[in-house]
Structure 1
């Protein structure tokens, strides 16, 4: 795949994921939440330009930092997302304003990392960004699924942000 196609895939995945995450939706703890990140990594690794052949050490370092940024963004996103169990037993999730701030911060840090790579003279391909995005999605989905399973296992309807969950449900932000 060309860099342009990779960039379009990244934009499409981000738009789809962000659009879905800022709406209330049930958490399906049985679905394959890890599948999209695995597909993104496979697509990224099919490219031979993951690392700059002229500066492999610097390129590998930037890739490692990209993955760390992805992991941190995914964890921040997951822990700032609301997860609650409705009275009917269904576990719901919705990203919050803090989640949007985490995303924004992650994007700014990634732009800074890309700029650093340019200053260092390292050729960076969209494959590294795709791997970082996969790390973000994997960690976020894993933590939210874990939180949802914990709510199901507890059998209780806990309070979220001081609210009684009896009043929280579809349509409430």
Structure 2
């Protein structure tokens, strides 16, 4: 039953997060963007054994690959998300068509990893997938928060020339 519950959680969270991101959303530095990833990590870590005891090395490699795919998907998703600042200083984001492509590639890679694991006889549970999804959400939120800070009025530019200067507020094309 745990596998079914995990699969249901993964599908519901992914569908909700993806659907929400294709609408304009305010990036708020005070939001607790890390809460959902922490909940997913806690949900994944409730499993007593994450690696297949009979295929320890292959299982660990697949687990690591899943985490890397999750982190790369989160970074790709964040960098393909369009962000802009309104005249009142609020920063907004909305995923782009390229973001959908990043998700499609990420899902394809995850399916490929599962198929590879099945082909070599590795028992796989949903812990790696949950941790990968948590990594995706955490990396995306962190990068967007960082990108959003650079668009806020009064944000200083990094570098020697113009220290203390502010970046003009306007729409960013991504």
TM-score clears 0.5: yes
Scaled by the length of structure 2, the TM-score of the pair is: 0.89
Q: How does 1:4-23 map to 2 (within 5 A)?
A: 4-23=4-23
Shift of 1:20: 0.8
Partner of 1:89, secondary structure, is: coil
* Structure 1 gaps, min length 5: 163-173
Distance 1:48 1:57 in 2: 18
Distance 2:30 2:151 in 1: 14
* Structure 2 gaps, min length 5: 156-165
**Contact kept in structure 1, 2:85 and 2:92, CA below 8 Å:** yes
Shift of 1:160: 2.0
**Contact kept in structure 2, 1:49 and 1:125, CA below 8 Å:** no
**Contact kept in structure 1, 2:87 and 2:170, CA below 8 Å:** no
**Contact kept in structure 2, 1:24 and 1:94, CA below 8 Å:** yes
Verify: 1:105 aligned to 2:117, yes or no. no
Shift of 1:76: 0.3
Aligned to 1:79: 79
Partner of 1:92, secondary structure, is: strand
Aligned to 1:45: 45
Partner of 1:55, secondary structure, is: helix
Q: How does 1:115-154 map to 2 (within 5 A)?
A: 115-152=115-152, 153=155, 154=166
Scaled by the length of structure 1, the TM-score of the pair is: 0.89
Q: Between Structure 1 and Structure 2, how many residues are aligned?
A: 162
Structure 1 runs of 4+ aligned residues shifted over 6 Å read: none
Distance 2:168 2:93 in 1: 16
